[in-house]
Amino acid sequence: MPDLKLEPAPTAMDAARKPNPPAQPPLDARLTEQRNPRSLRVDQMSSLEIVDLVNGEDRLVAAAVSDEREHIARAIDLVVESFRQGGRLIYVGAGTSGRLGVLDASEMPPTYRIEPELVQGVMAGGYEALLRAQEGAEDIPEDGAQAMDDREVDGRDFVLGIAASGTTPFVHGALQRARERGARTGFLLCTYPTEELLQAHDVVIAPLVGPEVITGSTRMKAGTATKMVLNMISTAAMVKTGKVYGNLMVDLQVTCQKLQDRGERILMETLGVSRDEAAQLLDASGGHVKTAIVMSRLSLDAEAARKRLEKAGGSIAALFGR
């Protein structure tokens, strides 16, 4: 195999927002469908060269996400507003995008002790599509609309469509129906947003990570960018609604030995108690760290502590400061 000279990866700005003009117009204007000039000979590279190439491309992702920081913050504020009105955060997607939405939603209840309905992931093709690709399911906008009707989406909700290419019919159908039902909507994509898209939604997040190493394989850079953005949105929303004290997940749900240990350590650190005392407090609180903290600091039983928390909007900081 001949030696292959790898060009250094450009910055995110160079690679995505201001790409070098191609020798001829691309057959598809979407960044997610364009060929990456740095991987044209990937099929001739050694394993180490492929690792270096993919790693170099992945370095572009964080910078591209950073470029969208203000739009991400806007989405966070919309989510928090929905929660405070009794609404929900609903992700809608297909393929990799849909699975990432479902993944983020599924991780919220054990991490932050929320009801599963508060953050939901809607996947084109349903549960079966999580395990086995149902590619045709994404082409039916009426199914997306029906998913919003089934969940009785209303003006309290925020619905975030996720589609790396920006064109998935299922997602567009869901968002159109969500808007008709009064919900706020957002769109997360990894190509240039159209003016129509920008006008249609309350927020559009478009981290431009550039063409993939394998053309069209948006489970790679686009998927990584999507995961980063969803992490930011859901985590910040949980922080801003009192699920975190300092940087501790005081609203975690003790469902396994790992979380039992973490809960005990949080109590030991915040209250200055021993491991045995922390375990007793956690047991008395019903496995709820936040309640245990209030019980200890105010010398209350679990029921009284929960009532004090409820009055404080669930925020320990509102009760005790930092």
Structure tokens at 207: 């981290």
**Which residues share a beta bridge with 123?**
93
Closest CA to 92 of 103, 102, 82: 102
DSSP assignments along 264-318, one per residue: HHHHHHHH---HHHHHHHHHHTTSBHHHHHHHHHHT--HHHHHHHHHHTTT-HHH
107 labelled catalytic: yes
- Identified catalytic residue from 33, 68, 138, 212: 138
Vertex 41: Cα angle to 37 and 44 (nearest 5): 165
Measure Cα distances from 46 to 2, 6, 10, 50 in Å: 10, 12, 21, 6
Contact predicate 233/72, CB 8 Å: yes
Contact predicate 233/75, CB 8 Å: yes
Vertex 237: Cα angle to 231 and 243 (nearest 5): 105
Beta strands in the chain (DSSP E): 89-93, 119-123, 158-162, 184-188, 203-205
Vertex 56: Cα angle to 54 and 62 (nearest 5): 105
138 labelled catalytic: yes
Residue type, 302: A
- Contacts of residue 62, defined as CB under 8 A and 6 or more positions apart, other chains included, come to 12, 228
- Identified catalytic residue from 49, 81, 107, 277: 107
DSSP 8-state assignment for residue 15: I
Active site residues: 107, 138
